[in-house]
Amino acid sequence: MDTLAKLQLANLSTIHVIGLSDDTPERLHTYLKKKPSKIWLASDTSGFFYELFGLAYVGQSIIINPKGKIVALVKSDSINQQMIDRLIKGEAIRSSGETKKEKLSGNGDPFAVDSTLNHSFSLRGYMQGQPSGSKRYLDKGAYRKRRISFTNATILGLYSNAFGIVSQKQLVYELPEKEVSNYENKETLYSLDLLVKQEDKDSLMSILQKNLLLNLPVKAKIEYRVIPVYALVNKSYKAIESAKNELSYSFSGRGYDATGAKMADFAESYLTNELALPVIDETGLDKRYDIKTNVEMRTKDGIMKSIND
């Protein structure tokens, strides 16, 4: 948004940027008080416009001309002064964004795995009509804790999941990064499904590691190095132990909401994602808790405040 704000400032008489957010108006007001902006922010808590335009993912922009006609759907980070100049001249530009497409058949399962199978492994390329993402099968059912799926994932994403990499600071590239992490190049994306035997479910991730190393064109390895980290420490934290014995969580720019979470989960799945360095758990707390934070501003100070409140 900062880049778009600068472009708007440089083209005040010709363009106007409107940012869509799923935050409430009250939260947007709080944000604008702390970070004033010339960009208009619209609250769309129901996701109406997101669904209306059928956007496949966030980070895209809809370009509308003065007559109210949609002229392009583009990735927001592709907008620059050259594109704006072409739009002002009335020239056509290529849409680089993506809309949702009908998913593949198979009872909602893009891999159509037979629930009677004992074990299976499938690796293929880009799957048309599927979003980029992953799924762990943790709920009750035939696949509970013994299956993991990825659709349209990068090589980096696959290895990071398999080896438990939670921060960019843990990565060292021995080849150009775009060769292993480029969602724009569909030829470098992979879709994978792994189902292990019931007796092997505790080894799911190690079996995934072996399959990736055996089948992917790029190999990965673990090395031990000393790097800077943040430490999550206990400052008289007191909370009732959770009634849940399994982790369930979600997080966004508004904070973290979890039941049955260990402090290590909080540090690795959330704080490491939000802060500049990996976060390790040094609280000494090994029980499960229900944790909920409220972040007013998605900055380091804002996140630290939400932890200490």
Kindly report, residue by residue over 102-145, the tens digit of the pLDDT. Answer: 555 445 788 888 888 899 999 999 988 788 899 999 888 889 99
> Angle at Cα 21 formed by Cα 10 and Cα 108, nearest 5°?
125
pLDDT digits (tens, 9 = 90+) for 154-176: 999 999 999 999 899 999 999 99
User: What one-letter code names the amino acid at 213?
Assistant: L
CA distance 291 to 137: 23
Tokens of 64: 């509308």
**pLDDT of res. 205:** 97
**pLDDT of res. 106:** 47
- Is residue 28 a contact partner of residue 41, using CB atoms and an 8 Å limit? yes
Same domain, 149 and 81: no
CATH number (domain holding residue 61): 3.40.30.10
Distant-in-sequence, close-in-space partners of 104: CB < 8 Å, separation ≥ 6? 110, 127, 128, 129, 130
Map residue 213 onto helix, strand or coil. Answer: helix
Would you put residue 253 in left (φ > 0), alpha (ψ -120 to 50) or beta? alpha
CA distance 145 to 158: 18
Domain assignment of residue 112, yes or no: no
Same domain, 208 and 236: no
Measured CA to CA in angstroms, residue 6 lies from 3, 10, 37, 62, 65 at distances of 5, 6, 10, 18, 20
Domain assignment of residue 271, yes or no: yes
81-88 vs 2-10: helix axis angle to the nearest 10? 50
Query: How many other CB atoms are found less than 10 A from the CB of residue 209?
Result: 19
Query: How many other CB atoms are found less than 10 A from the CB of residue 30?
Result: 14
Domain assignment of residue 184, yes or no: yes
Domain edge (last residue) among 180, 215, 250 = 215
Q: In which domain, by residue range, is 48 found?
A: 2-88
**pLDDT of res. 134:** 92
**pLDDT of res. 291:** 94
Same domain, 139 and 192: yes
Q: How many domains does the chain have?
A: 3
Domain assignment of residue 222, yes or no: no
Q: Which residues of the chain have pLDDT under 50?
A: 105-106
Same domain, 126 and 204: yes
- Judged on CB neighbours under 10 Å (0-12, 13-18, 19+), 208 is buried
Domain assignment of residue 146, yes or no: yes
Largest interatomic CA distance in the chain = 66
pTM over 0.75: no
Domain assignment of residue 144, yes or no: yes
